[in-house]
Amino acid sequence: MILQQTTNQVEKPIPARNEQVGESKSNFCNLRFRDWEMDNRARTLIMGVVNVTPDSFYDGGKFIEIEKAIKQIDKLVADGADIIDIGGESTRPGSLGVTLEEELGRVIPVIKAAVKRFDVPLSVDTTKAKVAEEALEEGASIINDISGLKFEPKIADIASEYDAGLVVMHTTSRPFDMQSKTKYNSLISDIILSLKNSVKLAETKGVRSNSIIIDPGFGFGKTTIQNLLLLKYLGEFRTINKPIMIGTSMKSFIGNFLRSKHLEDRVEGTAATVAIGILNGASIVRVHDVRLMKRVVSIVDAIQNAN
C-alpha cells in the first residue's frame, strides 16, 4: 500500500524551517530571477495566480481580456503578492491543452502590459519552450513548468540563456490523463527522485542554483490521500536543497475531503494547507486569494520567527 510505504519511509522528525540543521538550511537563500533578488529566509513569499484562460478550474474566463487581467494583477499586488504567475493554458485534471498560437495570444499581451505597470517579478506558467522564450523576451523573470522539464527540456536552456528563475514541478503525465496515473512504488521517494532529476537537468544546462524552485505538484497525478501525505511529509523535500513552493490553493482534494464541490467551501481548507505547508518547509505559496492568504502567511511566519 502506498500509505504504508510512505509512512514507514518518513518516521524521523521533521525540523522547523528556521532550525539550522545542515542541509536543510541551504534551502533558504537569496533567490535570483534575472535582475530580481528575493530573500525567502525572513518570510514566506506569495505567488499570486492569474489565469488568462476560459476554462481554469478557479477563475476560468474571468481574466481572459487584457484589461481585466491587468486589473486583477493590480489587486493581487496591492494585496501583497511578491510574484505574479500568468498562465494561458488550463492544467486542471482532464484538460486537453491549447495550441502554441493560442497560448501565445493569451499570455504575451498580458505580460507586455504588466511589465510596464507593475514592479514585481512576473512568472509564466507554461510547458512550451516557445511561450517561455517569448515571455522572457517581453520581460517575465520566471518560468513555472508543471512538467519539471519533462515535456520540453529546452525550457532549461531558455531559463539559462535569460538568467531566469525556474520552477520545476512534479507530475505523472499530461493533465488529460494524469489522474489515471497515481500509482507509486513509494510516494515521497518517487517524487523526490523525479524532482532531483529535474534540478540536475536544469543545473546541467546552466540555470543558476539559486534560481531553481521545486514544487511537489499537489493535485497533479495524486489521489486525495496522496495529497494529504505529501503535505504531511513535505519536510522530506528539503533533501533536494532547493526552496519549496506549494500550490494547494482551492484544489479539488480539499473539496473531496470536505465532501463539497463548491469552491467557496475550500477557503478554510486552503488556509490550513498553506499554514501546515509553511510549517513543514514551504517558503513560497502559490495562491489565488492573496489578501486572505497573506494574513495566514503573516501569522505562521510570526510564529516561526518568534524567540
Catalytic option among 251, 259, 291, 295: 251
- Per-residue pLDDT tens, the chain, 307 aa: give them: 333 333 334 433 334 444 433 333 345 568 999 999 999 887 999 999 999 987 555 555 566 789 999 999 999 999 999 999 999 998 989 888 899 999 999 999 999 999 999 999 999 999 999 999 999 999 999 999 999 999 999 999 999 999 999 999 999 999 999 999 999 999 999 999 999 999 999 999 999 999 999 999 999 999 999 999 999 999 999 999 999 999 999 999 999 999 988 889 999 999 999 999 999 999 999 999 999 999 999 999 999 999 8
Distance CA 218, CA 214 (A): 12
Interior/surface letters 78-95, b for 16+ CB within 10 angstroms, e for the rest: ebebbbbbbbbbbbbbeb
Does residue 37 contact residue 30 with C-beta atoms inside 8 Å?
A: yes
For the question of residue 32 being annotated catalytic, the response is: no
Q: What's the confidence (pLDDT) of residue 87?
A: 95
Pick from 97, 207, 233, 95: nearest CA to 148: 207
C-alpha cell at position 57: 478550474
Q: What is the pLDDT at residue 3? A: 36
Q: Is 174 a catalytic residue?
A: no
Give domain 19-305's CATH number out of 1.10.10.10, 3.20.80.10, 3.20.20.20, 1.10.3730.10.
3.20.20.20
In contact, 103 and 126? CB cutoff 8 Å: yes
Q: State the catalytic residue, choosing from 128, 150, 222, 286.
A: 286
C-alpha to C-alpha distance for 119 and 49, rounded to whole angstroms: 16
pLDDT at residue 238 in the model: 97
Q: Is 215 exposed, middle or buried (0-12, 13-18, 19+ CB in 10 A)?
A: buried
Report which of 1, 22, 28 is spatially closest to residue 281, judged by C-alpha positions. Answer: 28
- Please name the amino acid found at residue 93: P
Considering only CA atoms, which of 30, 32, 289, 247 is closest in space to residue 142?
32
